[in-house]
Amino acid sequence: MATDPVCKKEVDEKSAPGGKVQFWGARFYFCSVDCRNTFRHEPEKYAPGKGPNYSKLPDDWRA
């Protein structure tokens, strides 16, 4: 099991309802699309130290 970094729920990696996001070498799984979108808006808040600041993220992260 993986932990959703946004709401801290346990998520099964094989069937994560919110899918997964690869963030500078680390993989995150989400319980819902809402959580994934929240993470994409502020990844450094939920995965501190995992990558560059939000302003340096690729455009497709800002959807």
Residue ranges that bind Zn ion, judged by CB under 5 A: 4, 6-7, 9, 31, 35
Residue listed under structure tokens 């099991």: 1
Of residues 4 and 43, the one with the C-beta less far from Zn ion: 4
At closest approach, how far in Å is the CB of 58 from Zn ion? 23
Q: Determine contact, residues 44/53, Cβ cutoff 8 Å.
A: yes
Q: Position 27: which residue type? A: R
At closest approach, how far in Å is the CB of 43 from Zn ion? 14
Tokens coding 31: 């319980």
Of residues 32 and 44, the one with the C-beta less far from Zn ion: 32
The 8-class DSSP code of residue 60 comes to: G
